[in-house]
Chain A
Amino acid sequence: MSDASTEGRTHAESWAETVHGRVSGIRHFGAFSDLEIVAPEVAAKASPGQFVMVTVPGGGFLLRRPLSLFAVRGDRIGLLVEARGPGSERLTALEMGDAVDLAGPLGSAFPVSGVTSALLVGGGIGCAPLQFLSEELARAGAQVTAAFGFRDFRAARAAGAFAVERLWVATEDGSVGRRGTVIDILAGLDLPPQTVVYACGPAAMIAAVQRWSLAEGLRGYASLEAHMACGSGSCHGCVVDTARGKLRVCSDGPVFALDEVRP
C-alpha cells in the first residue's frame, strides 16, 4: 500500500515563526479543555493531523508543548488540551483574552483526497486531531465513522468536545458507552471494503488497530504521540521505530502509514 506512504508531502508546512495568539473561547470537559485561539497565520495553512508547538504561558517552562490541531474555524484554531502535568495545567487554566505564543502548523497531515469511507479511531487525548479530520473528510464527501476509547468516565468527558455524527465510545470500566476498548467497537462495525482507517492514541491502541486493520484488509494512517523538545526535526528526541527505521514524530510524522509504524 505504497499509496498510503506519507513520504510525498502534500500539505503546507510553514516556516513556523512564533505567532502571538489570543484565547477567544474556552470550553472545559473535566480535565480536558478546548482552547480556541485567534491565530490567522496558522489557521490559513493548517491541515488535519498537523500540530503546533505552544509556549507554556507565564514563563518558567523551557520546552514548548506539541498539540494537535483539534479544529480550524476561519482565523481561529482549536486545541484540545488534557491537564497532565504542570505545563498542560497552565494551558488549561488560560482564560478568554489571554495571550498564547505558538508556532505551526508543523508535521505531516492525514491524506483525505479520494476517500469515500473513513473510520476514525482515537484513544484518550489521542482523539484530538480527529475532529478537524472528520470535518475535512466530510467536506471531501467521505462517510465518517468514529470509535473513541477512554479509561473511565472522567477521561470520556473529552468526547463532549466532539461533533462527529457516527461516534461510538467505549470505556475500560464500562461507565460510558461500551465496556472494553475501541477494538471491541470495531468488531461490530459493518464498513465498506474501501474504508480508510485513521488512528491516533497510545502505542498499545495503535498496535491493536494495526492488527485489526491488517486482518480486515483495510489500509490507513496512524498519528503518533511522543515527548518532543525541538519540534523542528533537529534534536531526534521524538523518534519512533518504523518499517523505514527510526523516524522523527515531529518532522517525519506525526502521521505515518498505519502498516509502517512499529508501536
Chain B
Amino acid sequence: MTTPLAPDRVDLRVRLGDVELAHPLVDASGTFDVLEYARRFDGDYYAEFPYAAYVPKTVTEDARTGNPAPRVTETPAGMINAIGLENPGIAAWIAGLGTWARLPQPVIVSVGGNSPEQYAAVVRALEEHLACAPAGTCPDIRGYELNVSCPNVSSGLQIGADPAAAAAVVGAVRPLTRRLLLTKLTPNVTDVTAVARAVVAAGSDGVSLVNTFKAMVLDRDTLRPFLGNRTGGLCGPAIKPIALRMVAEVAEALPDVPVVGMGGVMTGLDALEFIACGATAVAVGAANFTAFEAPRRILGELRAELAIRGLRTPAEARGLALRA
C-alpha cells in the first residue's frame, strides 16, 4: 500500500524530448485560442496561462476558409466537428506572432498540408523568420506537431493513414529544423504502431495521438448528413477508451519515444490514465469547451490524483498500465 503525499510534494515537471514542461498538460490543437482568452481576461493572461506548452490551431501554407456550416454538434458523450483547417496561412500567421510574443510557455506549432512540400513550406517559412526575428517579437517556438491526421480536409486522403506517406512528410520537414518534431497520428487505421514506427524512423522525435475518429451524424428530420462536410471527427469522452488503447500500443511498441496522449480528457484522473498508458504529456481538447477554467481544474485534479497514490512525479506513473 502506498502512502499518500501532500499535493504540494508532487513535482509535476516532465521532459518532452528536449522541451522542459512545468507539468504534463498541453492544449489539443484547435481547441484553445490564447488570443481569445487573453482578450477577455481581467489581468495578464499570459502570466496565468494554464498549459505547460501552447499548441495553436493548425497552420497551413496558404489560407484556408474551412468547411461549410454546420461544423459542430453534440453526440452521445462527445461531439463531432468538421472545421476544415480554417486558418490565415503561414505568412499572415507569422505576421501575427508579435501579438502573443509575451507568452512565456514553449510553443509547439501545429502544421497541416496536403503534401510533404506544403508541410515543408510552412516549417521553412517559420524557421527563416525565427532565424532573423528581433528578440521579443516572437513567442518561444520550440517545436512542431505535424498534423497528418485531420479527417476533415476535402482531399479525401489522410496522409497519416499511410505509413509511407506520413514518413514522407516527416522526411521533408526533418532537414529544415532542429526543433522538437512530433507527428500527430490518426486513429483511423488498423495498426497505429505501423504509422508510429514509420514516422519515428523518418526522424519524428515523438508522436501525438489520437486525432479525431472519422464519423457521421444525421439530421434527425431529413436523415441527411448533419455537418456541412457530411463527415467529421468524433472526440470527447466517448473516444477515451479507444485512445487509451492506442496510446498503450504505441508506448509498448516504441518505449523510448515520447508520446503526447489525448482523447476525451475531462478530469485529472483521465490525464493520469493516459500517463499510465505511457504518455509523457497529455493534451486537453473538448474539455476546453465545457468551461474556460477547465485546464486549471484538470491540472489541480492531476496533482491530487498523483498525490493520493503516493506518486511523486508523473514519471513514476508512466507506463503503469503497460505489460511488464
CB distance from A53 to the nearest CB of B (A): 9
A60–B237 Cα gap in the complex (Å)? 10
B224 partner residues in chain A, CB cutoff 8 A: none
Q: Which of A228, A232, A245 contacts B37 (CB 8 A)?
A: A232
A233–B77 Cα gap in the complex (Å)? 22
A237 interface residue (CB < 8 Å to B): yes
B42 partner residues in chain A, CB cutoff 8 A: 14-15
Interface residues on A, range: 20 to 34
A44 partner residues in chain B, CB cutoff 8 A: none
B100 interface residue (CB < 8 Å to A): no
On whether the beta carbons of A235 and B292 are closer than 8 Å, the reply is: no
A17 interface residue (CB < 8 Å to B): yes
Q: Which of A13, A15, A62, A87 contacts B77 (CB 8 A)?
A: A62
Name B42's closest neighbour in chain A (CB-CB): A15
On whether the beta carbons of A234 and B290 are closer than 8 Å, the reply is: no
On whether the beta carbons of A62 and B78 are closer than 8 Å, the reply is: yes
B30 interface residue (CB < 8 Å to A): yes
Are A229 and B72 also in contact (CB < 8 A) when A16-B40, A246-B86 are? yes
A242–B73 Cα gap in the complex (Å)? 22
A172–B270 Cα gap in the complex (Å)? 50
A122 interface residue (CB < 8 Å to B): no
- Which positions 175-205 of chain A face chain B at CB distance < 8 Å? none
On whether the beta carbons of A251 and B36 are closer than 8 Å, the reply is: yes
Q: Which of A13, A61, A237, A245 contacts B40 (CB 8 A)?
A: A13
Chain B, residues 38-72, CB within 8 Å of chain A (1/0): the string is: 01111000000000000001000000011001111
A15–B48 Cα gap in the complex (Å)? 13
On whether the beta carbons of A237 and B71 are closer than 8 Å, the reply is: yes
On whether the beta carbons of B72 and A237 are closer than 8 Å, the reply is: yes
Secondary structure at the A interface, as helix, strand, loop or mixed, is loop
* Residue total for B at the interface (Cβ-Cβ under 8 A): 35
B69 partner residues in chain A, CB cutoff 8 A: 226-227, 238-240
A18 interface residue (CB < 8 Å to B): yes
Are A62 and B290 also in contact (CB < 8 A) when A239-B66, A239-B71 are? yes
A161 interface residue (CB < 8 Å to B): no
- Which positions 1-40 of chain B face chain A at CB distance < 8 Å? 30-33, 35-37, 39-40
On whether the beta carbons of B36 and A236 are closer than 8 Å, the reply is: no
CB distance from B29 to the nearest CB of A (A): 10
Most chain B C-beta atoms within 10 Å of own C-beta, residue among A13, A61, A235:
A235
B237 partner residues in chain A, CB cutoff 8 A: 62
A140 interface residue (CB < 8 Å to B): no
Lowest 10 CB-CB distances: which A-B pairs, in order?
A233-B36, A237-B72, A234-B33, A229-B72, A227-B70, A230-B289, A15-B41, A237-B71, A18-B291, A15-B40
Chain B residues at the A interface, C-beta cutoff of 8 Å:
30-33, 35-37, 39-42, 57, 65-66, 69-74, 77-79, 81, 83, 86, 236-237, 286, 288-293
25 interchain pairs (CB within 8 A)?
A13-B39, A17-B291, A17-B292, A60-B77, A63-B72, A63-B74, A63-B289, A63-B290, A64-B289, A101-B291, A227-B71, A228-B72, A229-B72, A231-B289, A232-B288, A233-B36, A234-B33, A235-B31, A235-B83, A236-B86, A237-B83, A239-B69, A246-B65, A246-B66, A246-B86
**A15-B292, A232-B289, A238-B69 known, 14 other contacts, Cβ within 8 Å:** A14-B40, A15-B40, A16-B292, A18-B291, A55-B291, A62-B290, A87-B74, A226-B70, A231-B289, A232-B40, A232-B292, A233-B33, A234-B30, A245-B65
